[in-house]
C-alpha cells in the first residue's frame, strides 16, 4: 500500500501525463476508450455513499496530508480502498467549462483483478471544489465478470 505522499506524487505524475498534448496514439485511444464507458458506469453502476470519503478528506486536511488537496489523489484513494489490480488506468476531465477547475470527473479502470469471479472494475467519481476543499460529490462503481462467471458488460450485478 502506498503512503500518502507516494500516492500524491503518483497522482501528480498521472495528471501530468494526462495533460501532455504530445500523447502517443495508444494513450489517446485508451483515454477515448475509458470515456466511452462513462455512460454505462453511470447508468449500470452501484452508487457508493460519499460521506465517509468526505469525512476522511476533512481529517486528512486537518493534519495536512498531501493527498487531500488533489482530486486525482482522492479518486485513487476511493478506488484503491477496494481490490488491488495489476493494471490500473485513470482519466480525468473538467466539468467546470472554464479554466478554473472546480468540478471534475475521474474514471479509474482496474484490469485483471486477482479474484475468482471479478475480472475488471470501474469507478466514476465526481469531485467538486468548495472553497479550498475538494469533496466527493458522487461515486459509481461497476464491474465485468470473468468468463463463465456472469455478465461481460459493465454492471453492478453480482458475479457467480
Q: Which of 16-30, 60-74, 111-125 has the lowest mean pLDDT?
A: 16-30
* Residue pLDDT, tens place only, 7-20: 433 443 344 344 44
Q: What confidence score (pLDDT) does residue 28 get?
A: 74
pLDDT at 137 over 80: yes
Kindly state the average pLDDT of the residues 100-123: 94
Q: What is the mean pLDDT of the chain?
A: 85
506524487: which residue's cell? Answer: 9
Burial class (CB in 10 A: 0-12, 13-18, 19+), 69: middle
The pTM assigned to this predicted structure is 0.81
Per-domain residue ranges of the chain:
4-145
* Residue pLDDT, tens place only, 21-53: 556 777 777 778 899 999 999 999 999 999 999
Cα–Cα dist 78/74, whole Å? 6
Question: Sheet harboring 133-145: ordered strands across?
Answer: 46-48, 133-145, 118-130, 103-111, 87-94
Beta strands in 10-132 (DSSP E): 46-48, 87-94, 103-111, 118-130
Amino acid at each position: 500500500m502506498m503512503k500518502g505522499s507516494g500516492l500524491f506524487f503518483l497522482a501528480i505524475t498521472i495528471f501530468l501525463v494526462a495533460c501532455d498534448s504530445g500523447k502517443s496514439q495508444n494513450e489517446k485511444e485508451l483515454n477515448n476508450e475509458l470515456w466511452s464507458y462513462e455512460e454505462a458506469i453511470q447508468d449500470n453502476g452501484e452508487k457508493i455513499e460519499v460521506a465517509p470519503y468526505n469525512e476522511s478528506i476533512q481529517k486528512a486536511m486537518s493534519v495536512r496530508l498531501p493527498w487531500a488537496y488533489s482530486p486525482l489523489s482522492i479518486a485513487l484513494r476511493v478506488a484503491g480502498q477496494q481490490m488491488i489490480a495489476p493494471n490500473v488506468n485513470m482519466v480525468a476531465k473538467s466539468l467546470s467549462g472554464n479554466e478554473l477547475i472546480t468540478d471534475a470527473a475521474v474514471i479509474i479502470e482496474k484490469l485483471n483483478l486477482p479474484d475468482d469471479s471479478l475480472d475488471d472494475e470501474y469507478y466514476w467519481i465526481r469531485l467538486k471544489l468548495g472553497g479550498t476543499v475538494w469533496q466527493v460529490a458522487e461515486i459509481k462503481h461497476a464491474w465485468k465478470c470473468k468468463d463463465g462467471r456472469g455478465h461481460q458488460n459493465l454492471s453492478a450485478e453480482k458475479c457467480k
